[in-house]
Structure formats: structure tokens, C-alpha cells
Amino acid sequence: MGLFNKNDGGIMDVIRCDEPEYLIWKWHPQGSGSSSKKANSIRWGSSLRVKEGSVAAFVYSNEGGDIDYIEGPCDKVIETANFPVLANLVGTLYNGASPFQAEIYFINLAGLIQIDFGVGDFKLSQSKYKNFEVGAKVRGTINFRITDYREFVRIHRLDSFDMAMFRKQTKSAIERYVKSTVAKIPDEYDIPITQMDRQISEVSDILKDKLQTPMHDEYGVTITSVDLSAIDLDRDDPNFKKLEKMTQGGATRLIHTLANAGETLGSHMAEAKKKKETKDEGEGIGQKAAGVMENMFGKKNKVAPPPLPDSGYMISVDGKQKGPYDLSSLLKLKEKGKINAETLIWKDGMEKWIKSSEVDEVKHIFK
């Protein structure tokens, strides 16, 4: 133990971080200047305290800039048994003496970094309607934190880390990624442009999935959530109005037609109830109701009914209802790993939600 017992006789330090909010924080001994050699002098026997959710990084002043990482919770006396890198360096660089030189940084793994972003005035288009671009704006918030601290330190220089610059750089990257990702969603997920503003939850999930890898590779952080507050579409754009007619016109007209038929039928039923619903009156009301439906949809009506909308399936993902999707869209979701044979689905006419693998029209997708 003689090699590690030499000491300069000074007061032992307590190395800890009590900052309420930080991402990277550098420790300095009491009474030292931030640029002096004393600021990096660590004495044997000093106490190291690292809170849970934090990591202490000891960056040594050798050529390689080797680093020891101590994860919290930790409350120990500094000795070579706790510091693998130091154990190899102390004999050759410091001759076993105290103090030794190291910069100490605390890295916050528990804290969330929140970035508000806004992307405006870009165009959305879809291959099957490629001549109809619509202006869009997207606003929201993204939260991320450090999980892979070794990767974070590899990417960022701890001695020159600047939080304001880090936030500025990540915000710029997020807005760039959001813009390019949202622009591809109509084609990749077969979501009509005119319905994008009603798919905020689904688009948020897509953004979280798509931004995870580039944000980790470029900045060493892990995204915990993406919360879109708005997808603003330029509804005054002539292209939007044309797209709305092409993608929703038929369905909208049919809904109004059925609603009107229901109201008319309801009034006849109310009339029957007032007359105590005798058998003869009931038959008469039924004939009237049939006449209404025949006039609305039958051969006597010279105006042809609107075309039926494409049938679509609703899916249940993480307890959320999403859709509707046609078969080609379901296949894309399956290929992306978003759904599987156990995913519950439903469409108009089905009595209840059932597994995808049990629906005749869908089960071939999962074989």
C-alpha cells in the first residue's frame, strides 16, 4: 500500500455535484482557480459522491486523455481499486504520489432536455397526386436525454462543452429532420395530405422512430418523446381544395345522404309512435321508409348515388386507434414492424375487434 499512501498533507476534498440543473458540470476544488494546475489536482483519500442518475468522468492529463467513469449512486474514498485507468497510470505518471492530475465532469443522465421546434412554409406532396403540392407548417416539442454517456463524450469535447450552443445545434438538426420526415409520410404511410392535421398522434410516433438514429449518431442522445402541437395545412391553397375533392368528396356526400335518410326515417317512426303503432300503421310507415330509401338510392331516382369510399381497416397500436388503412398500407406497416399477426383490427361491418391473422382479407399479409 506504500505506493498509494503518499500525500501532500492538504485537506481532503469532497468531490460532488449539487447543481439543481445541469447536463455537463465541471468540478473544481475549493479555493482553486478555474485555469490553474491546482484546479485539476486530486488528493488520495478524497471522497467521491455521485448521485443516482449521474456519472462522474475523470479525464486524465496523459497523451491519450484516458477516462474513468464512475456511475451513481456512489459514495467512496478515491483509491486505485475504484479507478481501473488510474491504477495503470499512477505508478508511471505520478510515482504513486498525491495529488494526481485529472479534470472531473459530472454528466446528468436523469435530466430531460426539451427543445421547442417549428418548421414552416414547406410543401407536402403525394406520388399519386404529384401535381398538387400543399403548403404546411409543423410545431411541437421534442424531449431527449443522455443514455450512452461514453458515446456522448466521444462526440462532444467535455472541456469546451457549451449548453447554449448544444441546444442551438440540436434544434437546427431536429427541424431539418422533422421537415424531411414529414414530407415523406404521405407516400411512406399512405396518409392523405388533407388528413395529416388529424393524424398528429401517429405523425408524432413516426417522428420519434425516424429521428432516434440520427440524433444518437450525431449528438449522442436518446429521444424520449415527440409531441406535435399542430400540423397546419394551407386550406386556402387551391391544390388543397382539389385534393380534398378527389380524396374525400365521395365519402362526404355519402355520409350526408345517409344522415338525411336517417332523419327522414326517424320522423316517420315518430309519427307511427304517436298513432300507437298499430299493425296497419306500422306497415304504412314501413312502406314510407322503404319509399324514402328507394327515392334516395333506388331506380326511381334519376340522379346516380355517389361512389362508395374505399373500405379501410382501423388498427389498435399501443392502446390507440389508428386508421383507416387499405390492404397496401397494412402491408407497409407490417414490413416496418408496426403491426403483426396479433394486432387487433376492425372495419365497418365487423361485430368486434379481432386479430389480423383471423381476418380472411388480411391474414395472407402475415404468412
- Residue 265 reports pLDDT greater than 80: no
- Averaging pLDDT over each range in 16-20, 212-216, 240-244, 281-285, which range is the top one? 212-216
Spans of all domains in the chain: 2-108, 113-234, 243-297, 313-366
Residues of the chain above pLDDT 70, percent: 69
pLDDT of residue 178: 96
The CATH code that applies to domain 113-234 is 3.30.479.30
240 phi and psi angles, rounded to 5 deg: -60, -45
How would residue 3 be classed by pLDDT, with cut points 50, 70 and 90?
A: very low
- Averaging pLDDT over each range in 28-32, 64-68, 248-252, 334-338, which range is the top one? 334-338
Model confidence pLDDT, tens digit, residues 136-184: 999 999 999 999 999 999 999 888 899 999 999 999 999 999 999 999 9
- Residue 13 reports pLDDT greater than 90: no
In this prediction the pTM is 0.61
Higher per-residue pLDDT: 55 or 325: 55
